[in-house]
Amino acid sequence: MNRLIGILTFAALVIGVNSFGQNSNDETLLTINGSEVTKGEFLRIYMKNNTGEQVIDQKSLEEYLELFVNFKLKVTEAESLGLDTTKSFIDELDGYRTQLAKPYLVNQDVDNQLIREAYDRLNFDVKASHILIKLPKDPSPDDTLKAYNEVIKIRKKIMKGSSFSAMAKRYSEDPSAEKNGGNLGYFTGFQMVYPFESAAFNTPVGEVSDPVKTRFGYHLVKVEDKRSASGKVRVAHIMVAVPENSDQATIAKANAKINNIYNQLISGESSFDNTARQFSDDKASAARGGELPLFGTGKMVPEFENAAFSLQKVGDISRPVKTSYGFHIIKMLERQNIQSFEEMKTELKSRIQRDSRASKSKEALIRQLKMEYQFSSNDDIIKGFHQYVTDSILSGTWDGESAAGRAETMFTLDGKSYKENGFAEFLQRKRAQSQSLTKELLIKKYYDIWVDSEIIAYEDSRLESKYPDFRYLMNEYHDGILLFELSDRMVWTKAVKDTAGLKAFYEQHKTKFMWKDRLDISIYTLNQKKDTGLVAVDQYVTPNLKALKKLKKISKKRAKKGLSEEDTKLLMDELITKLGSNYNVTIEDERYEKGDHYLMDRLGWEKGLSEEYRENGELIYVMVNKVLAPQPKELKEIKGLITADYQNHLEAEWVTELREKYTIEVNQDVLKSIK
């Protein structure tokens, strides 16, 4: 069960109640055991659960207030029992809060720009080449300058007419460049690191970008082509593998084999699925008839990708295609075009949160918060802090003692001072270390990280006071978790485990669950052993009248002596074999009310054997074993229904106890003011 069904949903994050007047929403509507509930809190819940109402009806408002009071009473009881202090509750609420806080800890304008930019890019494929000059993981300024100068020198040569491909083969530190001249083929959004993607999409076709820095180093990007997005395809393939460095004879043999397979497919001699299972050397996909997962641009080797996307219709089959893996025949199974912006918006937002571009939104928020909270830094203290840190920090073994007692302010935020000892603790907690940076540069790097993390943490701590919607929603989660936990103890699980209480409740209320008049019957269905289709019953019943008569005799014997279905079936099968009959018999024992089965309207409501009925080539007769008068249903027959009623009973008793235990005061004037 969803723990918060009927209480809250994330989709209702912002619910407008402005029409009720914000100034009056702070008035106390309700007091339970001394705790006040404002008009605004009540209205928020009321409107969330009555979204279809255009005008507030006083009667429905009062009825809902009763439900709301019951809800608040249960929460009050849960708090009195200390359920809100347990580790499990605190951890669960913290988990919800972390998720709910995410939209507030980004710059929404930048976030929306990134979503739109990502969608626009997904509508195109870019073909590009690159040259890479690598940087170490923690590059020093000298490392960065050296790599930058190197890539600038290469770019100047290209601008003077040198071949980009030749320069890539000569200078690029991407190992693949020696073979492909830096050519990366086609790709679309989210397939490259964000700075590289931006350079590729923002550089005109035929031109070379300025140096682009990524976590790998500096790149030059040449855009070869740009086209409308190909979307995604799902294909199946049959592969004849060709090992690397194979001789011409091996290649020719594989080529002959794939062409033979292709000819068989085209002629219709064999199906694609079966051929893939039997002959494809890609054993992983062969077991699925050659089927591959859905893929888009840049996910397959170019030759395979080009052939797959060139297939126009579902069911089309390509001619044999040569790749570095061997020869392939490709069949189109499905083609998906790019969805609309609205359809993709939620997915794009999620992908951006997992992508490096999310840092842009966070950086914009931090700049915004620095201005809002009047951030200021003490540059002299920051520059001098390194003298209190030993070189052991470079190996990650600094114990912090050399900075013990340091309490100078490094920066202030919203009037709060952040001191050296706090930064020292952060360095130890993060186990700051580096093999390439100097001590001064390492400290500067982690200082910037510390400042950003403290700004975000401060903003996070103020969400409830800064954003009423967030505060309301957290209150709803708080109350909802408590409500679920205590309701589970007092009602749901209790009703299931309290077998004695459930049985006693059943005895008191069993007349509510009555069977009407019923027949206890055995239905005997005779049909032909061989499947000869639906034929008239007379065509095969008449020659077996003797068998039919004896089968009915066994049915009567069964009713009189209480033979089991298994024993009865055994006797009937022996009789059919002995007489050489063509019958096959099935037996169904059941109890039915009138209208529960199509035969019930045909039967006389008295014990005994019925006449024969012909239905869809079958011969049916019925033995009425008993005529059952109305009676209560047994507990096992209505376990689910009676348990639900018992839960409602426990709920009502519990609410009555809570209303007697706690004081409830409703401000009628405030209630009447709600319109």
Q: What is the pLDDT of residues 66-79, one digit of tens each?
A: 999 999 999 999 99
Q: Are strands 608-609 and 376-377 parallel, antiparallel or unpaired?
A: unpaired
536 pLDDT higher than 50: no
pLDDT category of residue 435 using cuts at 50, 70 and 90: confident
Residue 98 covered by a domain: no
With respect to residue 148, please indicate whether it lies within any of the assigned structural domains.
yes
- Domain extent, residue 290, equals 232-336
Helix (H, G, I), strand (E, B) or coil at 526: strand
Do residues 145 and 276 share a domain? no
Q: For residues 22 and 72, state if they share a domain.
A: yes
Mean pLDDT value across the chain: 90
State the helix-helix crossing angle for 39-49 and 468-487, rounded to 10 degrees: 70
Query: Looking at the structure, do residues 256 and 166 belong to the same domain, yes or no?
Result: no
Question: Per the structure block, which two tokens stand in for 595?
Answer: 């209208």
Q: In terms of domains, do 284 and 239 share one?
A: yes
pLDDT tens column, 155-208: 999 999 999 999 999 999 999 999 999 999 999 999 999 999 999 999 999 999
Query: How far is C-alpha 205 from the chain's CA centre?
Result: 39
pLDDT at 59: 81
Please give the structure tokens belonging to residue 46.
């009321």
User: Residue 523's beta-bridge partner residues?
Assistant: 588, 622
531: Cβ contacts below 8 Å, ≥ 6 apart: none
Q: Do 21 and 154 fall within a single domain?
A: no
Non-local CB neighbours of 38 within 8 Å, separated by 6+ positions: 25, 26, 27, 28, 29
**Residues facing 615 on adjacent strands:** 618
One domain for residues 199 and 251: no
Is the residue at 218 inside a domain? yes
One domain for residues 437 and 580: no
User: Do both 74 and 203 map to the same domain?
Assistant: no
CA count, 13 A, side-chain hemisphere, 12: 22
Q: What is the pLDDT of residue 55?
A: 63
pLDDT at 10 over 80: no
What span, in angstroms and rounded, lies between the C-alpha atoms of 582 and 543? 9
pLDDT, position 17 = 34
Q: Which of 325-334, 414-423, 546-555 has the lowest mean pLDDT?
A: 546-555
Q: Bridge-partner residues for 241, per DSSP? A: 326
pLDDT attached to residue 436: 86
Average pLDDT of 127-146? 94
Q: Is 128 helix (H, G, I), strand (E, B) or coil?
A: strand
Structure confidence by residue, pLDDT tens digits, 255-295: 999 999 999 999 988 899 999 999 999 999 999 999 999 99
Look at residue 547 in the predicted model and tell me its pLDDT.
Answer: 83
Which tens digit of pLDDT belongs to each residue from 302-359? Answer: 899 999 999 999 999 999 999 999 999 999 999 999 999 999 999 999 999 888 999 9
Measured between alpha carbons, how far is residue 465 from residues 47, 97, 219, 416, 468 in Å? Answer: 22, 14, 46, 17, 7
- Pick from 336, 361, 388: which residue ends a domain? 336
Write down the pLDDT at residue 546: 82
Nearest Cα residue to 423 out of 439, 446, 457: 446
For tokens 């170490």, name the residue. Answer: 136
Please give the Cα distance from 305 to 288 (Å, whole number): 20
User: Quick check: 520 pLDDT over 90?
Assistant: yes
605 shares a domain with 535? yes
Q: Which helix (H) or strand (E) holds 393?
A: none
Q: Tell me the per-residue pLDDT of 591-611, one tens digit each, with 9 for 90 and over.
A: 999 889 888 988 888 999 999
State the average pLDDT over residues 374-392. Answer: 95
Q: How confident is the model at residue 582 (pLDDT cuts 50, 70, 90)?
A: confident
Mean pLDDT of 654-668: 95
3-state secondary structure of 623: strand
Alpha carbon distance 313, 624 (integer Å): 61
pLDDT, position 572:
92
How wide is the angle at C-alpha 98 spanned by C-alphas 96 and 103, nearest 5°? 105
Query: How far is residue 7's CA from residue 490's CA, in Å, rounded to a whole number?
Result: 18
Within 8 A by CB and 6+ apart from 492, the residues are 647
DSSP β-bridge partners for residue 374: none
Residue 529 — very low, low, confident or very high, per pLDDT cuts 50/70/90? Answer: low
In a domain, 199, yes or no: yes
pLDDT of residue 15: 31
The residues, ordered by sequence, that sit 6+ positions from 56 with a Cβ below 8 Å of its Cβ are 674, 675
Give, rounded to a whole angstrom, the gap between the first and last alpha carbons of the chain.
35
**Strand 212-214 to 295-296 pairing:** unpaired
Across the range 418-441, mean pLDDT stands at 93
The CATH number for 165's domain is 3.10.50.40
Q: Which of 7-21, 138-152, 638-652 has the lowest mean pLDDT?
A: 7-21
- If asked whether residues 495 and 593 sit together in one domain, one would say no
Band (pLDDT 50/70/90 cuts) for residue 545 is: confident
pLDDT attached to residue 510: 94
Q: Is there a contact between 373 and 416 (Cβ–Cβ < 8 Å)?
A: no
What percent of the chain has pLDDT above 70?
93
Count: domains in the chain: 5
User: Of 422, 439, 463, which residue constitutes the final position of a domain?
Assistant: 463
Across the range 360-389, mean pLDDT stands at 95
User: Is 327 among the domain residues?
Assistant: yes
Residues 132 and 220 both lie in one domain: yes
pLDDT, residue 54, reads 53
Q: Which of 207, 228, 249 is the last residue of a domain?
A: 228
Q: How would residue 617 be classed by pLDDT, with cut points 50, 70 and 90?
A: confident
Residue that the structure tokens 């931090």 belong to = 366
In a domain, 87, yes or no: no
Percent of the chain with pLDDT over 90: 77
Contact 238, 347 (CB under 8 A): no
Within this chain, do residues 72 and 25 fall inside the same structural domain, yes or no? yes
CATH number of residue 481's parent domain:
1.10.4030
CA distances from 252 to 255, 303, 325, 328, 330 (A): 5, 19, 14, 14, 20
Q: Is the pLDDT of residue 90 over 80?
A: yes
DSSP 503-558: HHHHHHHGGGSEE-SEEEEEEEEEEESS---S--THHHHGGGHHHHHHHHHHHHHH
Q: Whole-prediction pTM value?
A: 0.72
Is a pLDDT exceeding 60 seen at residue 16?
no
Q: 97 in a domain, yes or no?
A: no
DSSP-derived secondary structure letter, 430? T
β-strands 409-413, 376-377: how paired? antiparallel
Cα 658–chain centre separation:
39
The whole-number pLDDT of residue 405 equals 86
Please say whether the beta carbons of 262 and 329 come within 8 A: yes
Q: Is residue 109 part of a domain?
A: no
pLDDT of the residue at 86: 96
The answer to whether 648 and 523 have CB atoms below 8 angstroms apart is: no
Q: Does residue 542 surpass a pLDDT of 60? A: no
Nearest Cα neighbor of 523 from 577, 592, 471 is 592
Adjacent-strand bridge partners of 376: 412
